[in-house]
């Protein structure tokens, strides 16, 4: 396993035993992640988590003694790997609402916010989503004050504070954007991203990109004397922000149409690797409920981290140190950002249910969607039509022992979520049956 990033700060000899133990723990976490023969058990994860926390405590003591609380070396690299894996394991076992689960999300949001700042274009909705995620994580940390190590909580609070500072700076950049100009600005953001997505298709869609460019020309044609006007013909605030983005969109569309999806050969291996990562994550986002084990995201995160950190002063360079041209630079950065965005979406949409219960949970979600659709379409003409749903619900209900879904002698996490969903499905089925019977009655 490769550390990311690589740090060369000299290591204090007293930290070597800590590094050795963390490396051993990371190996155990990695082996546990790869084991597909059974589901991940909570106790296995908690034991490894406690081992990592113990090493954090020892590390803090050593660094406080030497007055080096902000030291960064290989120990910190491996520690980050351990926390990243443990965080994803907490999601896998369904303990999404506990403090350790926050770690991986802070890493991903930090990456996304850094990239938004670098790209210098984003919509208010992007920032709103990040803000809501940070607020949710703050609540999780508050809830965990009595049950988790203060060392971990302090680390997570610092990571959240860093994300909030980045978010505040990004919000400030859009502070001058008026409400009247916001719809136009958001449309420009959407078009720019759509052009970038088309630019990375296996077969370049010239007509589609030309269509986006035509939309940009239409937006440009609405300007009067180089300014966007509101409906009452006034000049709303935020002209520079919107105009700069429009010009950027037009320039990018020209470059993309000229290159026709052909990237500089020097950067093609990196491009193909990023396309592969993006495509795998996109597929996971579609089949997530049935195929995702959250710990699988770790390998994608680390691959992206290494590519992202290989840049020199923000630029991709070839083996001779020559910088990538604008087309290659923006194309590679788009793929990195899109991949991080998929990881973000996969993490926040993770259900608080152990993977052991996911098959049942997913079946119930499907049943719920079907029953809601039947209800929306006017119900059923006869209670007999509900027979397949009733049979399936009762077969799932019969799996419970004393009200719990068991796997062997284990009681996996997520019992509340699964039982709540089962009860909701029974209620929907009952409402539909009563309605059908009322319609069938002689009085009606």
Q: Could you say which residues of the chain have pLDDT below 70?
A: 1-11, 67-71, 289, 440-444
- pLDDT for the residue 36: 87
Q: Which residues contact 403 (CB under 8 A, 6 or more apart)?
A: 419
- DSSP 8-state secondary structure symbol assigned to residue 401: E
Sequence ranges of the domains in the chain: 182-262, 276-347, 358-440
Q: Which residues contact 296 (CB under 8 A, 6 or more apart)?
A: 33, 284
Count of C-beta atoms within a 10 Å radius of residue 216: 20
Rounded to two decimals, the pTM is: 0.89
- Judged by DSSP in three states, 312 sits in strand
CA distance to 69, 252, 265, 321, 442, per residue, from 315 (Å): 31, 18, 16, 10, 77
- pLDDT for the residue 62: 87
- pLDDT for the residue 4: 46
- pLDDT for the residue 365: 94
- pLDDT for the residue 69: 57
- pLDDT for the residue 73: 83
- pLDDT for the residue 95: 94
């Amino acid at each position: 396993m490769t550390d990311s990033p690589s740090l060369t700060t000299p290591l204090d000899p007293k930290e070597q035993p800590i590094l050795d133990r963390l490396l051993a723990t990371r190996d155990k976490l990695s082996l546990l992640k790869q084991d597909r023969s059974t589901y991940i058990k909570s106790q296995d994860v908690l034991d490894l988590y406690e081992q990592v926390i113990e090493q954090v405590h020892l590390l803090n003591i050593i660094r406080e003694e030497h007055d080096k609380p902000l030291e960064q070396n290989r120990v910190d690299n491996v520690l980050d790997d351990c926390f990243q894996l443990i965080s994803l394991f907490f999601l896998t076992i369904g303990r999404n609402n506990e403090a350790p689960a926050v770690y991986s999300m802070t890493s991903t949001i930090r990456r996304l916010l850094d990239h938004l700042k670098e790209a210098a274009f984003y919509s208010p909705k992007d920032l709103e989503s990040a803000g809501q995620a940070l607020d949710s994580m703050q609540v999780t940390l508050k809830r965990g004050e009595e049950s988790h190590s203060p060392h971990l909580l302090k680390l997570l609070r610092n990571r959240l504070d860093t994300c909030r500072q980045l978010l505040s700076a990004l919000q400030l950049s859009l502070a001058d954007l008026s409400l009247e100009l916001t719809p136009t600005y958001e449309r420009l953001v959407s078009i720019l991203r759509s052009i970038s997505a088309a630019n990375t298709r296996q077969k370049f869609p010239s007509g589609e990109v030309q269509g986006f460019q035509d939309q940009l020309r239409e937006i440009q044609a609405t300007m009067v004397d180089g300014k966007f006007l509101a409906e009452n013909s006034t000049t709303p605030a935020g002209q520079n922000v919107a105009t700069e983005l429009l010009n950027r969109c037009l320039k990018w569309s020209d470059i993309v149409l000229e290159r026709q999806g052909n990237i500089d050969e020097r950067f093609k291996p990196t491009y193909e690797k990023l396309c592969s990562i993006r495509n795998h994550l996109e597929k996971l986002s579609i089949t997530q409920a049935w195929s995702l084990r959250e710990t699988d995201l770790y390998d994608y995160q680390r691959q992206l981290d290494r590519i992202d950190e290989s840049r020199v002063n923000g630029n991709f360079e070839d083996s001779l140190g020559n910088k990538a041209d604008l087309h290659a630079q923006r194309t590679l950065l788009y793929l990195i950002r899109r991949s991080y965005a998929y990881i973000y979406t996969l993490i926040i949409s993770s259900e608080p249910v152990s993977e052991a219960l996911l098959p049942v949970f997913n079946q119930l979600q499907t049943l719920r969607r079907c029953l809601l659709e039947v209800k929306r379409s006017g119900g059923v003409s006869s209670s007999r039509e509900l027979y397949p749903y009733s049979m399936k619900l009762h077969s799932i209900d019969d799996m419970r022992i004393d009200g719990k879904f068991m796997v062997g002698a284990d009681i996996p996490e997520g019992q509340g979520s699964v039982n709540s969903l089962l009860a909701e499905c029974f209620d929907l089925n009952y409402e539909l049956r009563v309605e059908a019977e009322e319609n069938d009655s002689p009085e009606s």
